[in-house]
Amino acid sequence: MQTHEIRERFTQHFVNAGHTAVPSASLILDDPNLLFVNAGMVPFKPYFLGQQTPPFETATSIQKCVRTLDIEEVGITTRHNTFFQMAGNFSFGNYFKEGAIKHAWSLLTNSVEDGGYGFDPERLWVTVYLDDDEAADIWHKQIGIPAERIQRLGMADNYWSMGVPGPCGPCSEIYYDRGPEHGKDGGPEADDNRYLEIWNLVFMQNERGEGIGKDNFEILGPLPKQNIDTGMGVERIACLLQGVDNVYETDLLRPVIDTAEKLTGATYGSNDQDNIRFRVIADHSRTGMMLILDGVTPGNEGRGYILRRLLRRIIRSARLLGAQGATMEAFMNTIMDTMTPSYPEIADSRERILAVAVNEEKAFLNTLESGTKLFEDAAAEAKSAGKTTIAGDEAFTLHDTYGFPIDLTLEMAAEAGLKVDEEGFHSLMAEQKARAKADSQAKKHGHADLTIYREWVDQNPTEFVGYDNLEAEARVLGLISGGEKKTTVGQGDEVEVILDVTPMYAEAGGQLGDRGLIRAVGALLNVTDVQKIGKKLWVHKAVVQEGQLGLEAVTASVDKQWRHAARQAHTGTHLIHAALRQVLGPTAVQAGSMNKPGYLRFDFNYTEALTPEQLHQIEQITNQAVDNDWAVNTFETTLAEAKAMGAMALFGENYGNEVRLVEIGGPFSMELCGGTHVAHSSQIGPVAVLGESSVGSGVRRIEAYSGLDSFSYLSKERALAAGLAASLKAPSEELPDRIAALTEKLKAAEKEVERMRRAQLVAQSLKYVESAQDVNGFHVIAVQLPAGIEAGELRGIATEMRGQIANKDAVIVLGAESAGKAPYIVAATKSAIARGVKSGDLVKLIGQYVDGRGGGKPDMAQGAGSNIAGLQAGFEAVKKELESL
pLDDT, one tens digit per residue, over 476-528 is 999 999 889 999 999 999 999 999 999 999 998 889 999 999 999 999 999 99
Taking domain 3-249, whether its CATH number is 3.30.930.10 is answered by yes
Count of CB atoms situated within 10 Å of the CB of 683: 16
Angle formed by the axes of helices 254-264 and 272-293, to 10°?
120
Q: Measured between alpha carbons, how far is 162 from 172 in angstroms, rounded to an integer? A: 16
Pick the closest to residue 465 from 505, 435, 493 (CA basis). 505
> Dihedral sign, CA of 867, 872, 877, 881?
positive
Pick the closest to residue 582 from 608, 611, 620, 612 (CA basis). 620
Count of CB atoms situated within 10 Å of the CB of 794: 23
708 has pLDDT over 70: yes
So what's the pLDDT on residue 644? 77
The alpha carbon of residue 407 and the mean position of all alpha carbons in its chain are separated, in whole angstroms, by 25
Q: Per residue in 284-307, pLDDT tens?
A: 999 999 999 998 888 767 888 889
- β-pair partners for 175: 125, 197
So what's the pLDDT on residue 448? 47
Give the right CATH number for 451-558 from 2.40.30.130, 2.40.50.140, 2.10.25.10, 1.10.3720.10.
2.40.30.130
| Residues above pLDDT 70, as percent of the chain | 95
Cα distances (Å, whole numbers) of residue 377 to 373, 390, 434, 764, 823: 6, 11, 30, 32, 21
* Mean residue pLDDT across the chain: 89
So what's the pLDDT on residue 446? 37
Fold for the domain defined by 758-883: Diaminopimelate Epimerase; Chain A, domain 1 (3.10.310)
Mean pLDDT over 27-40 rounds to 81
501-502/463-464 β-pairing = parallel
440 has pLDDT over 60: no
432 has pLDDT over 80: no
Mean pLDDT over 781-786 rounds to 90
Q: How confident is the model at residue 47 (pLDDT cuts 50, 70, 90)?
A: confident
- pTM value > 0.85: no
Mean pLDDT over 672-687 rounds to 94
So what's the pLDDT on residue 442? 46
Q: Measured between alpha carbons, how far is 428 from 415 in angstroms, rounded to an integer? A: 24
Q: Which carries the bigger pLDDT value, residue 109 or residue 660?
A: 109
Q: How confident is the model at residue 650 (pLDDT cuts 50, 70, 90)?
A: low
| Residues above pLDDT 90, as percent of the chain | 57
166-177/195-211 β-pairing = antiparallel
So what's the pLDDT on residue 405? 64
Q: How confident is the model at residue 840 (pLDDT cuts 50, 70, 90)?
A: very high
140 annotated binding-site participant: no
Q: Measured between alpha carbons, how far is 712 from 705 in angstroms, rounded to an integer? A: 9
Is the fold of 563-717 the same as that of 758-883? no
What residues contact 626, with CB distance under 8 A and at least 6 apart?
A: 575, 681, 682, 684, 685, 686, 687
Task: Write the CATH number of the domain with boundaries 563-717.
Answer: 3.30.980.10
Angle formed by the axes of helices 328-339 and 254-264, to 10°?
160
Mean pLDDT over 799-828 rounds to 92
Long-range contacts, 866-872 (Cβ 8 Å, 24+): 866/820, 866/821, 866/822, 867/822, 868/817, 868/820, 868/821, 868/822, 870/822, 871/784, 871/815, 871/822, 871/824, 871/846, 872/784
401 has pLDDT over 80: no
437 has pLDDT over 50: yes
- H helix runs in 444-559, sequence order: 454-459
31 has pLDDT over 70: no
445 annotated binding-site participant: no
Listed range (127-131, 253-257, 711-715) with the worst mean pLDDT: 711-715
Q: How does DSSP assign 130-164, residue by residue?
A: TT-HHHHHIIIIII---GGGEEEE-HHHHEEE-SS
574 annotated binding-site participant: yes
Q: How confident is the model at residue 436 (pLDDT cuts 50, 70, 90)?
A: low
Q: Cα-Cα-Cα-Cα dihedral of 739, 743, 744, 747, to 10°?
A: 180
Cα distances (Å, whole numbers) of residue 245 to 52, 77, 183, 235, 238: 42, 12, 13, 12, 10
Q: Per residue in 65-80, pLDDT tens?
A: 998 877 777 888 787 7
Angle formed by the axes of helices 735-770 and 791-804, to 10°?
40
Each domain of the chain, given as residue ranges in start order, spans: 3-249, 254-443, 451-558, 563-717, 758-883
547 has pLDDT over 50: yes
439 has pLDDT over 60: no
426 annotated binding-site participant: no
Listed range (381-395, 478-492, 819-833) with the worst mean pLDDT: 381-395
Q: What DSSP designation does 813 have?
A: E
Q: Which carries the bigger pLDDT value, residue 459 or residue 438?
A: 459
662 has pLDDT over 80: yes
441 has pLDDT over 60: no
